[in-house]
Amino acid sequence: MPTVLALETSCDESAAAVLRQEGDQLTVLSHGIASQVEEHAQWGGVVPEIASRRHVEALPNLVEHALKDAGLVAADLDAIAATVAPGLVGALMVGSITARTLAALHQKPFLAVHHLEAHLASVFLSDHPPHAPYLVLLVSGGHTELIRVDEVGEMERLGRSHDDAAGEAFDKVARLMGLDYPGGPAIQAIAVEGDAKRFRLPKGRVSKPGGGFYPYDFSFSGLKTAVLRHVEALRREPEELPLADLAASFEQIVADVLVERSLRCCSELGLEHLVMVGGVAANHRLRSQMRAAGKTKGVSVHIAPLAYCTDNAAMVAVAALRRLSSGVEPSSLELGVAARWPLEQALSLYGPSPPF
């Protein structure tokens, strides 16, 4: 029964979790998050230096409570894991150095986890995880991607956003409308009372150099600009800005684009299972629409539990446990961190020769 302590500090959430695996059964023994959202909200986004400082302050207590709540001590662990890429370099360093120090101190293997692989692994915390092969829609603050997964470590990106990710579009549109940060929850809250059909908004597509469009790629910058134009025009009118209708129309078009392209990809590749993970996967309209459309198309839809959609350490632990069970060598204690690193090269994070 391998047991892992995992740390997550890739952006503005400090997190620690302890998970145990017994066969196919995963048990979350403890799970804690220290959020920085309120502090960064006054700036309208994450301030990297502030994020790093808060990780330094929060992580020792999170680790202590993670072990205490799990009823374990460091000697009971089989490995210690941390996110090392991609993310904010200063923030990543806090978690990575903490994990490597604990690993060296207690003579435990260190497992370096790719942040996107952790998000992909979050679906295994649900009651009905998928069986490979399957398609993943990873839709978070910084990433909107379609990824085919065949086995542990066998991943292929089939589609991506060429500008703003969906989560970034939510944040920017919320700012245009004068709503709070982060934009996703703010837009969702007000959109409930809105008319999603009031405003016609574009479904951004990405042109191919030789003509036509990339079928599985995304573009949300044009959608953001279209909302801006509506807001500018409406503010010249005497009536109050129809925030609920704007929010609902925007939220609806994002859901339409994500659902349509994901299910088209599944259909054309002959995949019967679709997974949706990432912070935007917590959106109620998107979850409901994806499930309904999947049922209509005969595709089994698996969505990460709400508690594990946004950044957390439990998903890091799942990714680490899956790598551990696949027989990878531990990561080098000399491994650093990287702001960017291709998901397809996640396997290079393991073994004695660090890639960075």
Do the domains 127-303 and 3-121+311-349 match in fold?
A: yes
Higher pLDDT pick, 152 / 308: 308
Query: Tens digit of pLDDT for each residue in 4-62?
Result: 999 999 999 999 999 999 998 999 999 999 999 889 988 888 999 999 999 999 999 99
List the chain domain ranges. 3-121+311-349, 127-303
* Mean per-residue pLDDT, 61-89: 98
- Compute the distance between CA of residue 142 and CA of residue 150 in angstroms, rounded to an integer: 24
Q: Can you give the pLDDT at residue 37?
A: 85
Q: Can you give the pLDDT at residue 224?
A: 96
CATH class, 127-303 region: alpha beta
The arrangement of strands across the sheet holding 79-85 comes to 25-35, 13-22, 3-8, 79-85, 110-114
Q: Can you give the pLDDT at residue 263?
A: 98
Instruction: Please determine, for residue 81, whether its predicted confidence score (pLDDT) is greater than 80.
Output: yes
Query: Tens digit of pLDDT for each residue in 228-278?
Result: 999 999 999 999 999 999 999 999 999 999 999 999 999 999 999 999 999
Task: Find out whether the peptide bond into 305 is cis, omega within 30 degrees of 0.
Answer: no
Do 280 and 139 contact (CB within 8 A), yes or no? yes
Structure tokens at 101: 């120090």
CATH class, 3-121+311-349 region: alpha beta
* Mean per-residue pLDDT, 155-180: 95
Query: Tens digit of pLDDT for each residue in 273-307?
Result: 999 999 999 999 999 999 999 999 999 999 999 99
Chain-wide mean pLDDT for the chain?
Answer: 96
**pLDDT above 90 coverage of the chain, percent:** 94
Instruction: Please determine, for residue 158, whether its predicted confidence score (pLDDT) is greater than 90.
Output: yes
State the angle between helix axes of 48-70 and 89-106 in degrees (0 to 180), rounded to the nearest 10. Answer: 30
Query: Tens digit of pLDDT for each residue in 202-235?
Result: 999 999 998 999 999 999 999 999 999 999 999 9
Instruction: Please determine, for residue 88, whether its predicted confidence score (pLDDT) is greater than 90.
Output: yes
* Spacing of C-alpha 172 from chain mean position: 18
Q: Can you give the pLDDT at residue 153?
A: 74
Q: Can you give the pLDDT at residue 267?
A: 97
Residue in the block written with tokens 């309120």:
38
Instruction: Please determine, for residue 342, whether its predicted confidence score (pLDDT) is greater than 90.
Output: yes
Burial class (CB in 10 A: 0-12, 13-18, 19+), 63: buried
Structure tokens at 291: 């499930």
